[in-house]
Structure formats: structure tokens, C-alpha cells
Amino acid sequence: MEQYETLRRRFPRFFYRGYEIEETGTALGITYHFEIEGLSSFAPCWTFPRPECADGTAVDGLMERMVFSLGMVELVSYWKITCSPQVVVEAGALDEKQIRWWKDLYYNGLGEFFYVNQIDNVNPDDFMEIICEDSADQTACEQVAEDFTVSSEISGVLVPIGGGKDSVVTLELLRQSGVPLYGYIINPRGATVHTAEVAGLDGGHLMEVRRTLDQNMLELNQKGYLNGHTPFSALVAFSGLIGARLLHLPYVALSNESSANESTVLGSTVNHQYSKSFKFERDFHQYAAEYLPGSAYYFSLLRPLSEFQIARFFARQKLYHGVFRSCNAGSKTDSWCGHCPKCLFVYLILSPFLTSDEVRAIFGTNMLEDSSMTFTLDQLVGIEEEKPFECVGSRDEINAALVLTIDRMEEEGEPLPLLLRHYKQSGMYAGRKAGRDRYFAYYDDENLVPEPFAALVKRNCVACTDNAIG
């Protein structure tokens, strides 16, 4: 907290100076210009490949507003270095409603950052003042206050690919149903590229975007300035609209599930997955409808589902089991570290639907025999009040998966491994056994999934009829 206050006094102003767009026949390049007054300037870059079929300029009024908006998300990675109390926006126009919207995103999206850095008593009203002198452009806002129109025909969908099981489920639900698919990857790595390959997405149906962080920020992080989690999925949302615009696609389908709504710390609003939550999805949808009219319809195909149902569907997609990766610790080496909360969560959530040998083959180890993961297990199931700061399922879902796994193993005469014995002895098993089947027919009505996408999800992940795919 002391460092936070000291830095805010030393560096009271952060500037969003502007951006440059460089358009060539093959790419759309964007360079942003930020500055912490008295400390450093920053020039992060984005590069979007242009489709071969594109003709004429891609930079119109809507694209300009999209690029400016992406910069409003990008800036928070640099602002957090000093948490300057004033953010001066010189790059574009914001009305008062927009300013409130962006402050809400920053405050909620930085909840983990404030919590981990022990920055207490942060007030959502005065933690940041956004100053934008160019705020008089009301014409555009008046012209764009309209709802999205959802097409009855699915002409094409842009699917962000993260390399984990969730985007695989979205891809396969759409692909196996004959929907024209386009993959969207930010900074390609092994798992994202291999997932796209298995899904049959070639160069014409795959947009690989490059995001380059400014070296000055990385150096300041090394020197001990404030650092931590930022709302990355908001970057996916705004940049995804740019990608869809370049490809002339009417939909961007995310893979965020209902479980992302659960807070990471019990009794608080601190949520590692805030920008994957339904609140953000709804807020973003409304923002785009009002200030970015003509952009693609943004929604999460998996929002009605639990992680439990997603894992059940994914378990049947055998071709992806050797290529998907969700481990952040192992992302640089395209591997499962086998020792982190994310690895353990994925191991647990798949265990009811795969044999023990199949799960071990994915991870290369039996995590359920690792005594060092006992505390992590307690965090995941709710024995500890704080979940790990990772993208993991709800406590109820994980408990349901554990109960089902124990029941399966005991029915098959398989001895319980160490972590499952610990769980059973803790008393959690007995208390949760009655709710073991609750997620098979789960459907969260708080979603923005349009027809016929909703029918597709219900048929294959909820109803589980004989007509289900996969």
C-alpha cells in the first residue's frame, strides 16, 4: 500500500497520447503511444494480417473507433506500473458515460492486482480520474444507439483460440455442425497452433495476430514497480472485433463458461476471471452496440454451461487430447507443469469422464498421488476460502467432479489415490454426494447466445440426446 501511495504522488499523470495505423496490402499495424509523465513513454504494437481477398482501405470511422478502444484496454497494462491518479486521454473522444464504463472495467478487472499487491481501500470513484478534453463528439453516439441485428443464417464465426479445452469445445460444436469457422490467435504458440490444425483451420481461416509489449514496461517490472494481473480477455474482446471486421464476419464466439462468474476470494468481488464473466460480456455488448455500431455480435457460446459439462464434451474429442494445453507455467514450453492449480483443476474436471490411464497420459504424471498438491486441492474445493488465482471452475463443480471420480473408481475396484483419500476423509465427499449429478442438465439462462447457437449448445451439452455430436 505504501508503494502504491508513493508512486501515485511521484507520478500523478498518465497519458494516452495517440496511436498510429499503418495499412499495407498484407497487414494492419497499430502502434500506441502512452506516457507516465516523469518516468517513461511506451509504444506497444499490434499487427493484424489482412485477408488476401481484402480490397480498398480497412480504416474507416468504425475501425478508428475500434483501434482507439483497444488502446483504452491496452493502456491499463502500463498505467498499473504507477497507478497514476489521473489518466489523460488525448487519442480520442469520450463522453461521461464512456468514462464511467472504462473506470468500471479497470476497477473490476484489476481486482486481483489490488488484492495481491495488498492495495486496500481502493475507491471505485476516485482510484482514477479520466480526463478527456475531446468529449464533445455526441453525433456519433446519437447515431449508433441501436441494437445488434442477429442474422438467422450463420455466415461465419470468429473463434478466439486459447489452446485449452474450452475453445476446443466451441470449435467442435460449430465445426461439426457445419458452421463456417475462422480461428483467432493472439501471439501463436504450440497449443493454439496445434488446436487450429486439428480443427482443420488453414491459412485462409486462421488469423494470427501479434501483440508486442513495450520493453520499457518489462524493464520497469524487473525494477520492482507495481505489477500484476490485468483484464486480458477484454483485449481479446476489443481486438476480436477488429479481426472480425477485417474478415467481414458477423459473429465473435468466445468460450467463457458460467463458472467464470464466481469470485476467487469468498465473500468478495475479487475475480481472476472478471473479463470472462457475464457482467463484462453484457457490459461489452452494450458498449459495442452504442459506440461501435456495425461491429460483430460478441458472445460466449459456452456461457450457459458449467466447466463440468464442457469437460464432459471435451472428453469425447480424443484428437485434441495430445495437443491442448491450459497450464500457464508451462506455456513457454508447450507443456503441462503438473504442479500448479490449473493443471490440478483440469486433471480433476476430466477425471469423471476419462479412465485414470487416459488422464495420466495427458499430463504425463498422476497428480492425484502428489502430496504437495493437498493445499491446492483444499483451495479448489472450498476448504480454504481463497481459490487459486487461475481460470478454474466453481467450487461446486469441482466437488461434483471429485465425487463422481471417487464413485467411478470404487465401482471399478480401483484403489483411491492420495488426494482422493484426503478429500473423502475431510468430510467433503459425504456432504457433496447428493449433488453429484446436478450439472448434467445445467443451463444458465443469463447469456447472450442467439439462436440457432443456443439450440446447438442445448442439444449437444445439456439434453445429450442421441443426435448429439462428438
Report how far residue 220's alpha carbon sits from residue 215's, in angstroms, rounded to the nearest whole number: 9
Please state the separation of Cα 135 from the chain's center in Å.
30
DSSP code string of 288-325: HHHHSTTSPEEEETTTTS-HHHHHHHHTT-GGGTTT--
DSSP one-letter code for 416: P
In the block, residue with C-alpha cell 486459447: 162
Among candidate residues 183, 215, 164, 213, the one with its CA nearest the CA of residue 49: 183
Where b means 16+ CB within 10 Å and e means fewer, 169-185 reads bbbbbbbeeebebbbbb
Distance between CA 30 and CA 212 in Å, rounded? Answer: 10
Angle between helices 190-198 and 165-175 (to 10 degrees): 20
Per-residue pLDDT of the chain (470 residues; tens, 9 = 90+): 789 999 999 999 999 999 999 999 899 999 999 999 999 999 999 999 988 766 667 899 999 999 999 999 999 999 999 999 999 999 999 999 999 999 999 999 999 899 899 998 888 988 999 999 876 454 444 433 333 444 445 579 999 999 999 999 999 999 988 889 999 999 999 999 999 999 999 878 999 999 999 999 999 999 999 999 999 999 999 999 999 999 999 999 999 988 777 777 766 677 777 898 999 999 999 999 999 999 999 999 999 998 889 999 999 999 999 999 999 888 888 999 999 999 999 999 999 999 999 999 999 999 999 999 999 999 999 999 888 888 888 888 899 999 999 999 999 999 999 999 999 999 988 988 877 787 888 899 999 999 889 999 999 998 554 444 44
DSSP bridge partners of 210:
47
CB 439 within 8 A of CB 400: yes
What's the CA gap between 277 and 92, in Å, rounded? Answer: 27
Rounded-to-integer distance, Cα 344 and Cα 3, Å:
34
Q: Is the dihedral of CA 255, 258, 261, 266 positive or negative?
A: negative
Residue with cell 463443480: 397
Residues forming beta bridges with residue 298, ordered by sequence position: 252
Task: Specify the pLDDT at position 177.
Answer: 84
Q: Are strands 13-23 and 40-42 parallel, antiparallel or unpaired?
A: unpaired
Cα separation of 127 and 341, whole Å? Answer: 31
Residue boundaries of the structural domains of the chain: 2-300, 335-442
Cα dihedral 315/458/289/61 (nearest 10): 50
Could you read off the pLDDT of 161-177 as tens digits, one per residue?
Answer: 999 999 999 999 999 88
What confidence score (pLDDT) does residue 140 get?
Answer: 43
Q: How far apart are the C-alpha atoms of 105 and 101, rounded to whole Å? A: 6
Q: Are the CB atoms for 255 and 79 separated by under 8 Å?
A: no
3-class DSSP state of 67: helix
Rounded to an integer, what distance in angstroms lies between the CA atom of residue 208 and that of residue 187? 7
**Nearest alpha-carbon partner for 251 in 140, 153, 105, 163:** 153
pLDDT of residue 402: 95
Q: What nine digits make up the cell of 434?
A: 447428493
What distance lies between CA 10 and its chain's CA centroid? 33
Helix (H, G, I), strand (E, B) or coil at 185: strand
452 cis-preceded (ω within 30 degrees of 0): yes
How much is the pLDDT for 470? 46
Tell me how far the alpha carbon of residue 342 is from its chain's centroid: 14
Q: Which residue from 390, 363, 356 is spatially nearest to 376, judged by alpha carbons?
A: 390
Q: Is the dihedral of CA 332, 338, 341, 344 positive or negative?
A: positive
Q: Which three cell numbers stand for residue 91?
A: 487519442
Sign of CA dihedral 198, 173, 240, 112: negative
